[in-house]
Structure 1
Amino acid sequence: MRVVVQRVMASSVTVDGEIAGKIGQGLTLLVGIAPTDTAAELSWMARKCLDLRLFPSLGSDGQRPAQEGHRWDLSVRDIQGEILVVSQFTLYGDCRKGRRPSFDGAAPPAQAEALYNDFVSLLHTSGLRVETGKFGAMMQVKIHNDGPVTLLLEREAPA
């Protein structure tokens, strides 16, 4: 499983000209599913995304970071942020050979959709607002990255 985590001020996803999901401050998660992914990878990834300390502590004014140097002490849970989850099979695109990516490393659509939905359900258990795009659709994603902070998380099933 691969997830691109972006700390955002706001983010939205549009499908067929209609907003499918929209959030304020929090995380945008671009999610790729591998054919070997199981509930163990989903659970690990959901916990990691919810608990990563990606947000600075706030000062006494409640606005600015508590200290210069941008120490990250708070998770999306801690700030009661929002999460936008977007399926992204292209995270498994292999561009090592030729000029056209191969997506053989991505899970087949039916399997990926079921696991993606399970991942979203795990995030919902946090009590945070979780929005999504539409699995398999052509989507336009607007990301107002904060920082910018962008991380790649990977969790492969044991062989």
Structure 2
Amino acid sequence: MRAVVQRVLSASVEVLNMRLFPNDKTGKAWDQSVMQRKFDVLLVSQFTLYGILKGNKPDFHVAMPPAKAKPFYAALVEKFQRLYSADTVKDGVFGAMMKVLF
């Protein structure tokens, strides 16, 4: 599952409380959040989500520059860890080419 958040510092609570999962007891779909299910969270920086097509090539000029994006991403990770749990919120390596397996 992917959740793309644009206003990161104000939306972290909404992402953690978003009801995306079924309730095993009642069978009701879309009833429980990540926090209710006590799931782990993996935050991964991904500038390519902000790319646009320029002809036949991707263009990332509208993406935030790395010097600004790295502290912004670090603040997002810190806020998620503070609001949920530092042990259950993990982050990827900023700017690295990562392969996420689960």
TM-score normalised by L of structure 2: 0.86
CA-CA distance at 1:77 after TM superposition: 0.8
Partner of 2:57: 100
Partner of 1:138: 97
* C-alpha RMSD of matched pairs (Å): 2.0
**Alpha-carbon displacement from aligned partner over 1:44-91 (angstroms, at most 9, x marks no partner):** 2211210100111112xxxxxx32xx5111111111111001110001
Instruction: Looking at secondary structure, tell me which structure has more helix per residue.
Output: 2
1:121 equivalenced with 2:78 (yes/no): yes
Mapping of residues 5-154 of structure 1, within 5 Å: 6=1, 41-59=7-25, 66-67=26-27, 71-95=29-53, 97-125=54-82, 126-127=84-85, 129-142=88-101
Percent identical residues: 38
In structure 1, the gaps of 5 or more residues are 1-5, 7-27, 34-40, 60-65, 144-159
**Alpha-carbon displacement from aligned partner over 1:105-158 (angstroms, at most 9, x marks no partner):** 210001001000000011001126011110011111225xxxxxxxxxxxxxxx
The question of whether the paired residues in 2 share the 8 Å contact of 1:29 and 1:85 is answered with no
Aligned residues: 100
CA-CA distance at 1:29 after TM superposition: 5.2
The question of whether the paired residues in 2 share the 8 Å contact of 1:29 and 1:83 is answered with no
Q: Which gives a bigger RCO, structure 1 or 2 (Cα 8 Å, sep 6+)? A: 1
In structure 2, the gaps of 5 or more residues are none
TM-score normalised by L of structure 1: 0.57
